[in-house]
Amino acid sequence: MLESERGLDPKTQNYVKKVASVPVRQIITAGGKEDKAIEDPSLGHGLLTYKLLQGLDSGIADTNSDDVITGSELGNYLRGVVPQQNSSQFPQFRMRGEGDFMFLPQMNVTLSVIPPKETGEANFNNLNEKIKRQEAVKKVKKNWTLGIGGKYAVVLHYYGSHNYGGHNNSLGLIAPLGTIIPQTNVKAEASVEYWGESYSSFGYREKWSCITFNGTAKYYFTSSGMSPFVGGGLALILTRSSIKGNTDTTYGIVTDTSSSDTDIGFHLVGGVDIPLGPSMKFVVEGKLAKRRFVKEIHIAGGIVVKLK
């Protein structure tokens, strides 16, 4: 609905009625993401606001001299004049829809579309919700830091209730995935570990191997410098074992068996990240892991390189 159209020639009135009756969303910002906007006390406003009011009050933003300043004209005017005074500030203008906002500088009256209450408020609320969702996604992406690295660990094993066990060496890959909760120090990490061992006794040779796929959430107590952390997660564990021995032809005994197993386990971790540079860190970590009949203690060190 037009609030006023006094003083316009018939041709301009028809244009105003037509354009102002079409819904539109228009946004003018002071600058781009990396721009530095000026706040000058001598102007009484920021540079963008000062130039906006100047363009409306003087009518200089009316580029086609039809006594009507549209939102599009105002946006384009600001994109031209602001960088002339501040070369590091470039106002941004965006619009959605086929209509336009209308300003009458000579009569100090704004012409705009006033949507019906039952639909206008709903559209406005939907737009706000969409903007909030987009901002939340941007925050997650901003904090999402990917990396890749490797680690070496000594693994202590405890089997069953009698704590019979052993130890071996483990190699692994680490893939930090970055912040999983916006504005917190909770970060996700994926890793793959492998260890294997073999031994011989009384003519038999036994081999064990294990591959573990881990998903871990870590809470960092600080966000810069040396960063202690604690956390926990789940693991998919694939194990394989085999026993080979001499064939006893007298009794027809042949010892040559193998088996494999899949299990789900959980683990707790604690340690510290030590920066080695802007894109590299050294990780010292202890891990307590548990699955059906086995408990493990891992003492590991590794290097991670930041990718993004």
* Tens digits of residue pLDDT in 123-136: 545 655 665 666 55
CA separation for the pair 56, 74 (Å, rounded): 8
CA separation for the pair 3, 6 (Å, rounded): 10
Question: H or E element: which one contains 209?
Answer: strand 204-220
Residue with tokens 């190699």: 171
CA separation for the pair 136, 80 (Å, rounded): 32
241 CB-near residues (< 8 Å, 6+ apart): 206, 207, 208, 209, 258, 259, 260
Cα-Cα-Cα-Cα dihedral sign, residues 290, 294, 300, 304: negative
Indicate the number of domains in the chain: 2
For residue 40, CA distances in Å to 33, 57, 61 come to 20, 20, 22
Give every residue of the chain whose pLDDT is below 50, as ranges: 1-6, 107-121, 124, 140-144
Are residues 290 and 163 part of one domain?
yes
Are residues 157 and 113 part of one domain?
no
Are residues 156 and 127 part of one domain?
no
The residue from 82, 113, 132 where one domain ends is: 132
> How high is the pLDDT of residue 304?
93
- ∠ CA 240-262-205, rounded to 5°: 15
Residue 231 lies in a domain: yes
> How high is the pLDDT of residue 3?
41
CA separation for the pair 5, 12 (Å, rounded): 9
Q: What is the domain range of residue 37?
A: 10-132
> How high is the pLDDT of residue 212?
94
Are residues 187 and 96 part of one domain?
no
Are residues 265 and 206 part of one domain?
yes
Are residues 159 and 120 part of one domain?
no
> How high is the pLDDT of residue 123?
53
Residue 168 lies in a domain: yes
Closest CA to 97 of 43, 19, 153: 19
The residue from 97, 132, 167 where one domain ends is: 132
Residue 3 lies in a domain: no
Are residues 177 and 30 part of one domain?
no
